[in-house]
Amino acid sequence: MIRLYTFGPAFGLPDPSPFVIKAHVLLKMASVDYTTDTRGFNKAPKGKLPYIRDASGTIIDDSTLIRFHLERHLGVDFDTGLSPAERGTAWAFEKLCEDHLYWVVMRERWLNDRNFDKGPRRFFDVLPRPLRPLVAAKVRRDVRKALHGQGLGRHTFGQMDEIAVRGIAAIADVLADKDFLMGPNPCGADASVFACVASMLSEYFETAVRDAASRHANLVAYRDRGMARWFPELTSDRAVAAAPAPT
Ligand SMILES: N[C@@H](CCC(=O)N[C@@H](CS)C(=O)NCC(=O)O)C(=O)O
């Protein structure tokens, strides 16, 4: 059986990582039986989650590579029924979420002090008390550096949010009154777009992107639809406590 390495539910979300949420959804869309394991972070080949180990022991260490693996080995076409133009649009929106809005979510959680204290700081609670502030400060520095390299971290929060609001509106405009991004059924990009929208809408954090996304009723309904479809076990109580730190 496939094993999916995750951080575990947190912040009212199936996982603090949108990429892990995406991997869950892809596996569910492909109707694959899988188990989850929250003890894999230290052995992650690329130092990141998610990754999967399949029945033959093969490791696939990236959410998009997991998608390709499922397409190749199970013959799944996540975009069945879409025209080439729709497939292209779906792919572009997936990457808007992963390579742009993801970084906004990261910055709001890790570099806004209030959000950091109630959220990511809790990841370090498994460490011996004296080590916690040191490791937390180091990881925070790494996040700051990554955001600087990516570019969004060079803006003020206000400038970044102004840019992010356009991306959020673009998703809302393309979704319009459809149930899923490209039509009545989910396509591959919905794994990523749902993960991004749900992460932005997390009630656990106070962020400008949460406020912007919650002004679009169709995005809120889309999040609720995805939660009910893929994570019904979490829909009754979104106030899940912060996850234990990855070990
Ligand atoms: N391109 C990767 C991105 C995965 C990723 O960035 N994972 C983050 C969590 S959202 C992570 O594990 N970060 C840990 C670290 O960088 O130390 C994918 O699609 O799976």
Q: Is the pLDDT of residue 239 over 60?
A: no
49 lines ligand 1 (CB under 6 A): yes
115 lines ligand 1 (CB under 6 A): no
Q: 2-74: CATH homologous superfamily?
A: Glutaredoxin (3.40.30.10)
Assigned architecture for domain 84-231 = Up-down Bundle (1.20)
Write out the residue limits of the CATH 1.20.1050.10 domain(s) in the chain.
84-231
Ligand 1 centroid vs 19 CA: distance in angstroms? 7
The pLDDT tens digits for 29-47 are 999 999 999 999 999 999 9
The pLDDT tens digits for 98-113 are 999 999 999 999 999 9
The pLDDT tens digits for 52-97 are 999 999 999 999 999 999 999 999 999 999 999 999 999 999 999 9
Note if the pTM is more than 0.75: yes
Write out the residue limits of the CATH 3.40.30.10 domain(s) in the chain.
2-74
- Exposure letters 106-128 (e unless 16+ CB within 10 A, then b): bbbbbbbeebbeebbbbbbeeee
Ligand 1 centroid vs 177 CA: distance in angstroms? 31
Are 207 and 112 in contact by the 8 Å Cβ rule? The answer is yes
| Nearest Cα residue to atom 5 of ligand 1 | 48
Ligand 1 centroid vs 62 CA: distance in angstroms? 8
The pLDDT tens digits for 193-203 are 999 999 999 99
Ligand 1 centroid vs 147 CA: distance in angstroms? 13
For residue 128, say if its preceding peptide bond is cis, omega within 30 degrees of 0.
no
